[in-house]
Amino acid sequence: VGPKILQYVVKVIAQAIQLLYTMLQMEQPAYILLQNPPGLPSIAVAWVACLVCRSKLIIDWHNYGYTIMSLSHGRNHPLVRIAKWYEKLFGRLSDYNLCVTNAMKEDLWVNCKIKAVTLYDRPASYFKETPLELQHQLYMKLAKDYEPFKAQHITESVSSNAERSAFTEMDKRNGRVVKTRGRPALLISSTSWTEDEDFSVLLKALEDYEQYINEGIKLPALVCVITGKGPLKEYYNGLIKKLHFRHIQICTPWLEAEDYPLLLGSADLGVCLHKSSSGLDLPMKVVDMFGCCLPVCAIYFE
C-alpha cells in the first residue's frame, strides 16, 4: 500500500502544478466554473487560481469524488479519508455552488455546511416522445435483425394491406399507424456492461415476472431491450441464453446513435441499474429517459 500511496501523491502534485500553470496563462476570468468530480487536485488548484486572478469560484457538484474512490479502495482506506476531508474543506472555500439534485443540495448543507442551488441536468432536445409513425418505422427497421420486433402470430384476418411489427400496424393505403392489439410491453435498459451494473438483478426480476404470468396473473408479454457494448456483454448473453421464457423476449442490440432516443421515446418502462456511489447523483441515462417522458426503475437513488 505504501508505494502506491506515494505514487498517487506524486501524480497529484504533478497534475496540480501542470493545471495551475495552465490556468494562470489564461486571461483573468471573472468566474471559474469547476465540475466535481473529478476534484482532486482541481478544486484546490482552481481556488488558488481564483486568489491570484481575483476571480469567483463556482463548483458544479455532480457527485463526490471520495465516494467513487471508495468503490475500489473501501470507505476506510486512508486515501478515501483524505479525499473526503479535502473535498469538504476546499468545497467550503468556493463562492457559489450548484448541484444536480435536491438530495445532494441537502447533503452538502447537512454534512459539509455548503450552500448550493439545485440546477437539474437537462436532456438533449432530441430525447422526447416518439410519434407513432416514427415508432413503426423504427420497429420495422429493427425487425430485420431482431426477432422480438417482428410481427407475431399473423392470422388470416389481418389485411394484406397492413404492414405489421410486434408493436404497431400500418395501413399501406393511407399510412395510418395504430398499436397492435395484445402488443407486448417494451422495457429498455442501456448499459456499458461493466461491474457497476449488476444485470443479474434485472434477469431475476424477469424470471419473477414470467412466474407471475404462469400463476395466472394478467400481465402483458414483455420485450426487454438491453442496449450498449462492454466487457461483460458476452457473459450476460450467456446467462440470457439459458433462460427459457414463454412470455418474455430479450435482445441486446447495438443501436445506431439516431435510433437510441427514438427507442427510448417508444418504450413503456426504462430500467437503470447504475449504482450511484453516493446515492445522490442522477445518472445521465435517467435524465435522457425522463426527456422521453419514460418512467424509470432505478437502483439506490434518493
The domain spanning residue 108 has which CATH number? 3.40.50.2000
* 152 and 273 assigned to the same domain: yes
Mean pLDDT score, 69-84: 88
* 106 and 156 assigned to the same domain: no
Q: With beta carbons less than 8 A apart as the criterion, state whether 93 and 47 touch.
A: yes
pLDDT of residue 206: 96
The domain spanning residue 153 has which CATH number? 3.40.50
Q: How confident is the model at residue 281 (pLDDT cuts 50, 70, 90)?
A: confident
| Residue 123 in domain | no
Query: Is cis: bond before 37, omega within 30 of 0?
Result: yes
| Residue 36 in domain | yes
| Residue 125 in domain | no
Q: With beta carbons less than 8 A apart as the criterion, state whether 148 and 249 touch.
A: yes
Q: With beta carbons less than 8 A apart as the criterion, state whether 286 and 298 touch.
A: yes
Q: How confident is the model at residue 283 (pLDDT cuts 50, 70, 90)?
A: confident
* 81 and 140 assigned to the same domain: no
| Residue 126 in domain | no
* 148 and 106 assigned to the same domain: no
* 114 and 143 assigned to the same domain: no
Q: Is 288's pLDDT higher than 90? A: yes
Written as nine digits, the cell of 236 is 450476460
The Cα 203–Cα 184 span in angstroms is 18
* 189 and 99 assigned to the same domain: no
3-state secondary structure 114-156: CCCEECCCCCCCCCCCCCHHHHHHHHHHHHCCCHHHECCCCCC
Q: Is 187's pLDDT higher than 60? A: yes
Nearest to 134 by CA among 78, 83, 177, 74: 177
| Residue 127 in domain | no
* Domains identified in the chain, total number: 2
Residue 220 sits in which domain range? 132-298
pLDDT of residue 8: 80
β-bridge partners, 274: 197
Higher local confidence (pLDDT), 282 or 83: 83
Q: Is 158's pLDDT higher than 60? A: no
* 156 and 294 assigned to the same domain: yes
* 158 and 214 assigned to the same domain: yes
pLDDT of residue 275: 77
Q: How far is the CA of 194 from the CAs of 64, 236, 256, 297, in angstroms?
A: 20, 11, 20, 19
* 147 and 103 assigned to the same domain: no
* 162 and 109 assigned to the same domain: no
The Cα 99–Cα 37 span in angstroms is 12
* 294 and 191 assigned to the same domain: yes
* 187 and 81 assigned to the same domain: no
